Amino acid sequence: MLFSPPQAFQFNERYLVSIHEHAHSCQFGTFVGNCQRERTELDLAGRTYSLWGHLVARHDEYANPLYRQETQADVLRVDTSPQCVKFWSGLYCRFESGEQRVFKRYHLCQPTFFYCSGL
């Protein structure tokens, strides 16, 4: 989604990384339970905070300055064909720095390149 036309996605990379991090952080009840029935039985709305409320309160941190709503359709169409999938270094290498980051990225991508070359 991030590599679609830059004006197509309303939020920046930090927004998606925050969702990823909080899906397992146990700070919010948003992703607890397997279905809405379980969430209701556990009274998560009354006992926990919602991740969405947290993100909405910090909208300015997560807004994409290039986003243009008037130029977009109702649904963002993303090409999910294998040749269009890209390694997301902003997520998977966010704790690495310098030369170590480049080395790890290469070794993480190498099996994918090998597999795709055989297609």
Token reading at 72: 């977009």
pLDDT in tens, 17-56: 999 999 988 889 888 888 999 989 999 889 999 999 999 9
What span, in angstroms and rounded, lies between the C-alpha atoms of 78 and 58? 26
What span, in angstroms and rounded, lies between the C-alpha atoms of 57 and 31? 19
pLDDT mean across residues, the chain: 80
What span, in angstroms and rounded, lies between the C-alpha atoms of 86 and 84? 6
Place of tokens 């910090």: 58
Sort 64 into a burial class: Cβ within 10 Å, 0-12 / 13-18 / 19+.
Answer: middle
Q: Which of residues 101 and 83 earns the better pLDDT score?
A: 83
Over range 67-95, report the average pLDDT: 80
Residue 57 has pLDDT above 90, yes or no: yes
Q: Which of residues 106 and 24 earns the better pLDDT score?
A: 24
Residue 60 has pLDDT above 70, yes or no: yes
3-state secondary structure (DSSP) of residue 63: strand
Residue 104 has pLDDT above 60, yes or no: no
pLDDT tier, 74 (very low <50, low <70, confident <90, very high otherwise): confident
